[in-house]
Every structure is written in structure tokens, then in C-alpha cells.
């Protein structure tokens, strides 16, 4: 569940606790260039206040009018569609003739939403199943590979951290990557056995492990929804993580370092029980070339590359760094890893 939809859930709970009536809207189907993905949430209060988005355009304005007119008497969920024709798509702000279908839920249950939030905070992937005939919703355990299902009679939406990012090292760069990853719908686990690192990881949503990287990665049972990023710049720790990460099903395995250090790392890894094909999976130097120098900028470049790999988009910025910027880049990396 991304940060926007989590905000919808928390706000909706607060409104219901205050005695307001709330309508939940869930995107269940899209055609064309819909701005928000399937599963996205929007909540509208009985006085027209809203949180979240389903289109980023005029659909929200129309939904507010629906709420003001229909919510007081509404009891059961309904299905609405926007952008059936090109003219209607343009009127509702849907680009390129996009079409959007929503399930509107006028009576979400406060206790069930609170239970869903508790499960999400416990990092449990959860299915919320809504019966459109009765308006009753239930919760059930779900897996990382589960997706939203909708058959006109029931809606099974998946909530919780379906993607996981494992960071090796708890230095300043890892702190920036962790915060950005949380906003991008990742469960974040930071591994660093060094007691002097990690005191600045203050977010309760980040799990800090003090075990050795190879042991922890094995315990995590890494799957294809996991990214592993080695950021200590210390071969004794990074290589341990890579030895297990490259053999796993992780969709992304990367490591910080210069091109020269990356070449030496590949040679070292050949001395262990790794094949050339497994070592070829290594993304290094980690991140896209964006001219980044500060830890925050480097974190952006790392998240950009991981996002591209996650969505199977060809990486276009992975090119040789211009000679004039190479030394600046290496100094910046050294400054980050030394902090």
C-alpha cells in the first residue's frame, strides 16, 4: 500500500471516529492512460472534504457532487464508470481517452478499517474482500504476488507492503534511500552489525537488523518482490550480502562503488560459489547516472534505477560518467560512505 493510500486509510478512520459519514472509492479497472493504478483509493467525507486521488482531474469534483447528493441515503456499494467516450474522457480530465471504473463504498466499517491498519503496521499483507451485494467487508491473509480481483459481485483488494527493500549498511545514504523507499510502497529492512551505525534510523517503519548480512538474507527467504542494495562500501559486509542476494530470486541486487571497485568485486565473487550468470545480475555502480553528488541525490538515482527494473523499463541513463565529473563523483561517494 503506497503512502497516498495509507494516508487515505488513516484519514478515513479519523473521520469515522469523529462521527462523519465517509464514502470510499476504489479503482477497479482502467483503460488507456489512467493517472492512478488499479487499487488506488479515495475517501470523501459527507461535507465534501477528500483525501487521496483516483484520477488527478475532474472525476474527484464529480464524486464530491455524488457524495453530497447520494451519501446520506446510500447503503450498498455501486459501480461507476468515467470516460466511456473520448469526449467524456476529456471532460473528466482523463488523458488520451482513458477510462476509469470505480467501486463506491458508502458505509465502510470503522472496526474493520482499524484492524486493516493494524495489520499493515505489522507488515502483514492483507486482502480486504468487499461483497457488493451486502456491503460487508472481511479481511484475509494474502501474499506478495496477489493482485486485485473484481468480478462485479465482489472486490478483493490487496493492502500492505507487497514489495521489500533490504539495505546493507545504516549510514547516511541508507537513511535517505529508506525514507524514499517507504513512500514508494516498500517494506524496508536495514542490515548492519556495526553498533556505531544506525542511531539515526528513527522511523518506526524501518526494521534494523544487527545480524550478519548473509545470515539475515537467508532468514528473509528473499523472493521476486525483493530488492537488495549494498551500501556500506565495505567488502567484508557488502560481499557477504551479494553472495546470497545474487543466488536469490530478488528482482534487483546492487552495490555502491566506483566502476573500478565494481570490477574488482566481480572478480572476488567468482572465487565463491557463484556462476558468471549470477554475477551478471549485479547492478553496479548502483543507481542511474544523474550527476548526483549529495546523499539525497544519490538516493534518488538508486530508487530511479530500482523503479525502472521493477517495472521492466529499459535503463537509458546507465552510461559512462564523463571524465570531468568522475573525480567529483568518487569524492562524493567517499564522503557519503565515510559519514
CATH of 163-338, one of 3.40.50.150, 3.40.50.720, 3.40.50.300, 3.30.1330.80: 3.40.50.720
Q: DSSP assignment of 112-154, as one string? A: HHHHHHHHHHTT--EEEEEETTT--EEEEE--TT---EE-SSE
Total residues found in the chain within this entry: 339
Instruction: Classify residue 282 by its DSSP letter.
Output: E
Q: Which residue ranges make up each domain of the chain?
A: 3-159, 163-338
Asked if 181 and 303 touch (Cβ cutoff 8 Å), the reply is yes
Asked if 42 and 60 touch (Cβ cutoff 8 Å), the reply is yes
Q: What angle do CA 127, 129, 134 make, to 5 degrees?
A: 165
What does the block give as the cell for 171? 549510514
pLDDT value at position 72? 85
Tens-digit pLDDT profile for the chain (339 aa)?
Answer: 666 788 999 999 999 999 999 999 999 998 765 567 899 999 999 999 999 988 766 688 889 998 888 888 899 999 998 875 566 655 655 555 567 899 999 999 999 999 999 999 888 999 999 999 999 999 999 998 899 999 999 999 999 888 999 999 999 999 999 999 998 889 999 999 998 887 778 788 899 999 999 999 999 999 999 999 999 988 889 999 999 999 999 999 999 998 899 999 999 999 988 999 999 999 999 999 888 889 999 999 999 999 999 999 987 666 555 545 444 554 555 555 555
Q: DSSP assignment of 182-246, as one string? A: HHTTEEEEEE---TTS-TT---TTEEEE-S-HHHHHHHHT--TTEEEEE-S--HHHHHHHHHHHT
pLDDT value at position 211? 95
Q: Which residues have C-beta within 8 Å of that of residue 191, sequence separation ≥ 6?
A: 166, 167, 168, 169, 209, 211, 213, 216, 217, 241
DSSP run (H or E) holding 45: strand 41-45
pLDDT value at position 326? 47
Dist. CA 85–CA 99, nearest whole Å: 8
| 3-class DSSP assignment, residue 107 | coil
Write down the pTM of the prediction. Answer: 0.76
Amino acid at each position: 500500500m503506497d503512502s497516498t493510500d495509507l494516508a487515505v486509510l488513516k484519514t478515513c478512520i479519523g473521520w469515522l471516529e469523529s462521527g462523519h459519514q465517509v464514502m470510499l472509492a476504489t479503482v477497479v479497472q482502467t483503460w488507456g492512460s489512467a493517472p492512478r493504478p488499479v487499487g488506488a483509493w479515495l475517501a470523501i467525507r459527507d461535507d465534501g472534504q477528500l483525501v487521496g486521488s483516483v484520477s488527478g482531474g475532474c472525476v474527484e469534483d464529480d464524486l464530491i457532487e455524488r457524495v453530497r447528493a447520494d451519501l446520506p441515503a446510500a447503503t450498498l456499494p455501486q459501480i461507476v464508470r468515467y470516460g466511456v467516450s473520448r469526449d467524456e474522457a476529456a471532460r473528466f480530465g482523463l488523458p488520451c481517452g482513458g477510462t476509469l471504473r470505480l467501486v463506491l463504498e458508502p458505509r465502510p466499517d470503522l472496526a474493520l478499517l482499524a484492524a486493516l491498519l493494524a495489520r499493515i503496521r505489522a507488515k502483514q499483507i492483507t486482502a480486504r474482500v468487499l461483497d457488493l451485494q451486502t456491503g460487508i467487508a472481511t479481511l484475509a491473509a494474502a501474499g506478495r504476488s496477489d493482485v486485485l480481483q473484481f468480478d462485479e459481485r465482489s472486490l478483493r483488494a490487496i493492502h500492505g507492503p507487497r514489495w521489500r527493500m533490504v539495505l546493507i549498511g545504516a549510514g547516511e545514504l541508507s537513511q535517505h534511500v529508506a525514507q524514499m523507499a517507504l513512500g514508494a510502497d516498500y517494506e524496508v529492512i536495514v542490515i548492519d552489525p556495526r553498533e556505531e551505525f544506525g542511531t539515526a534510523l528513527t522511523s518506526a517503519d524501518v526494521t534494523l537488523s544487527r545480524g550478519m548480512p548473509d545470515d539475515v538474507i537467508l532468514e528473509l527467504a528473499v523472493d521476486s518482490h525483493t530488492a537488495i542494495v549494498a551500501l556500506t562500501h565495505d567488502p567484508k559486509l557488502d560481499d557477504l550480502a551479494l553472495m546470497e542476494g545474487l543466488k536469490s530470486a530478488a528482482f534487483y541486487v546492487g552495490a555502491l562503488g566506483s566502476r573500478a571497485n565494481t570490477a574488482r568485486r566481480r572478480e572476488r565473487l567468482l572465487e565463491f560459489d557463484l556462476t558468471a550468470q549470477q554475477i551478471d545480475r549485479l547492478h553496479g555502480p548502483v543507481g542511474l547516472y544523474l550527476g548526483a553528488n549529495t546523499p539525497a541525490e544519490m538516493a534518488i538515482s538508486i530508487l530511479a534505477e530500482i523503479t525502472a527494473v521493477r517495472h521492466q523499463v529499459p535503463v537509458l541513463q546507465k552510461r559512462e560518467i564523463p571524465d570531468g565529473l568522475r573525480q567529483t563523483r568518487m569524492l562524493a561517494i567517499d564522503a557519503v560512505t565515510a559519514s
